[in-house]
Structure 1
């Protein structure tokens, strides 16, 4: 059962598991921060947006949760190392890494994309996660912790659609990274998996696609459950993969997409005019 705030506050640091979450100030990242805190973990929350991060950390600390904020540009390896070292110094350990930070990029296709923006998407969505997986993986091995790494894939990694060109490429690469890291780290008891969100009601999605009735309905119609996904539903999956409940799962991609990747057919009406 979830640990309440008072119990969480009274637990000593050494008794708690510690998770490092990137892109933690909003959307899926912040929903995951709240999930881990409610489950009794200490959270090292990082984001490039200092103001938003500070506000989140201050509010949660006031509620009695064990959370520390670190301003971080995940694409800077030296910054990553400094923050990882600070977390280990404060908590003495890291038990899980959630590589959540990511960017969408831009929509132009192969005929007119900007190479700089494609590289930027790859740097944030792929390389940043690799940097942190290396650094946190070393902590796991050094301290003999059978830790967990969870990456963020996407439905765009499996099926080509109108998602930004560079985004889909970078997320397909994340799938390869997840499998390779699971292979190399498995002998240490370290697990590496990914979640693959579908159309999720993050701040960015609400501002653009979800706020447009046509785009919102188009997305819904592609899912078996005919709806969008809440960030908290992704957070639940991340927590599961990071927890002991998933102790035998590694190298896997868990779709949290309301059935988007199950089929290309609509399930609202049979093509044979049969009753549903």
Structure 2
């Protein structure tokens, strides 16, 4: 055991190698690590001597990895990443305050019912901020963001909140007043936003495209509230409508469900949240029951 640990190069030498290989420059690596350029160059020289191999090809103005350096780099990066994540998960105290940015609909219909658990599980003060329609761009800042899309975000942490599914919903009173079993003749409510609309829904399932919606609302939250008030049939997000469907405030109409490839994603950078807090937060916000 002692012999094995003695054969390993010092961690600071390995970090200098990884930063230089990733950034392509001794100077850039020095700036990132907080050392001078000669100090980084010296550490890599010592590492090469320790490993008995050349890791970089040094030219007048450029450096590049040798075959050995290129082969070793992914193993080094995986080891450093695992060391960083495990130490953060086990020992980091986490952030004292977490800021969550989301649409008003997600805040009202998904986040608020789970907020007590989020606060308890993360041990942080929670600040919730809403963004206006058209502000869905996900930025890599120090806020935790919930954004609608298909995935492939530039964030280290990312997980879908739920699988999106759309179906017609309305208040029971609307059905009773209409005295009909044919929901397609009832007035419809339109919701502005990134989801498929009534045109997409009726085309997919060969349903009547009329009546055209006479009321248009710019949030799913507002559209669901309008449906609960008996103003028409909404093409509702079933995960966001779940509590109203379970309570009987809304009823689902017909048998068709529009499965959509896009959904809301929970996103964060390493600087926004600790690994341990991310595990707690993502568990709380992806739970279907509250």
Normalised by the length of structure 2, the TM-score is 0.26
Structure with more helix by fraction: 1
Which structure has the greater CA radius of gyration? Answer: 2
TM-score under structure 1 normalisation? 0.27
Of structures 1 and 2, the one scoring higher in RCO (CA 8 A, sep 6+) is 2
Quick check: which one's strand share is greater? 2
